[in-house]
Amino acid sequence: MRPTAPGGGATAVVGPVRPQFPGHGVAPDGYGGAMSKTWFITGASRGFGREFTRAALSRGDRVAATARDTSSLDDLAAEHGDALLPLELDVTDREADREAVARAARELGRLDVVVNNAGYGHFGAVEELSEADLRDQLEANLFGAVWVTQAALPVMRAQGSGHVVQVTSVGGIAAFPGIGAYHASKWALEGLTESLAQEVAGQGIKVTLVEPGGFSTDWAGASAHHSEEMPEYQPVRDATRERYATATPGDPAAAAQALLRVVDAEEPPLRVLFGSGPTTAVPQLYARRLATWKRWEDVSHQAQGG
């Protein structure tokens, strides 16, 4: 996360084998075969969500793709036909989330992968945040993902399988100045999802947190929200812009191919970093944290008491 944005192999299938969908018979012609998956992806109009949708469709999977304005998916619908189910959705509407998930399960027959990608970045120092700024950020990035997940779990439990993918951020395990509301939403989603993974492990449901670094999306562009700026924080904003001016963003299309490897893995990770930068920065971050905890260990023991 930064201001430019914040596997298993295939199994051979002999003959025209198509998966059975409970209550719907075999999948329609053109479906990708026994290894194909059915997806529910939020925020599919642009950025990661669009590339995830495109990658899944291109390999023969079927996708229920949500967007506030489904006209943004018209080109994909024209190319892939009934393999794409466009759904108009504002993820902050809990009842609408339930209805969208139910419709996807009903029309597509099952839900193998649910990707909670919808959300946005809010820019503003902590002192600059209004109550609406913070609440709106949490509604979209945290509550929207929770409502969709809650709606999907009964479907997956009935199937005995499924994979919930939460698109968080490096900003879900680290924090930087000027985007505290965004971090609050992603750190909360990380903790909630780690609990979820333990709760549903015995139900055949897998859970993964995808933690991207900086990518070429419009995360900091048209989709971003901004607080009213205070002049006292202008030096912080200037330093942040300078820090990231020369950074090289990742390619969302490449991230989509990486996600396919994650969801196809027999044992997918609870957490996976997307992008090269975080693979160096995150270990350094944790090394500093461990060193600090060790340096203050005597205070930790003192706090334990007798």
Most distant CA pair in the chain, distance: 70
* Pairing status of strand 38-41 against strand 84-88: unpaired
CA distances from 48 to 33, 251, 293 (A): 25, 9, 36
- Local mean pLDDT, 10-residue blocks, the chain (306 residues): 38 32 36 71 95 97 97 97 98 98 97 97 97 98 98 98 97 95 98 98 98 78 89 94 82 94 97 94 97 98 95
Each as own residue / partner, the long-range contacts of residues 103-108 (CB below 8 Å, 24 or more positions apart, any chain) are 103/64, 104/40, 104/64, 105/155, 107/64, 108/21, 108/38, 108/62, 108/64
How far is CA 185 from its chain centroid?
Answer: 12
| Fold exhibited by the domain 20-275 | Rossmann fold (3.40.50)
Query: Which pLDDT tens digit goes with each residue over 209-261?
Result: 999 988 777 766 678 899 999 999 999 999 988 887 777 888 999 999 999 99
**Alpha helices by DSSP H, 39-143:** 47-58, 74-80, 94-108, 131-138
Report, as residue numbers or ranges, the catalytic residues.
182
What pLDDT was estimated at residue 29? Answer: 38
pTM of structure = 0.87
Domain residues of the chain, as ranges?
A: 20-275, 280-306
Give me the phi and psi of 268, to 5 degrees please: -70, 155
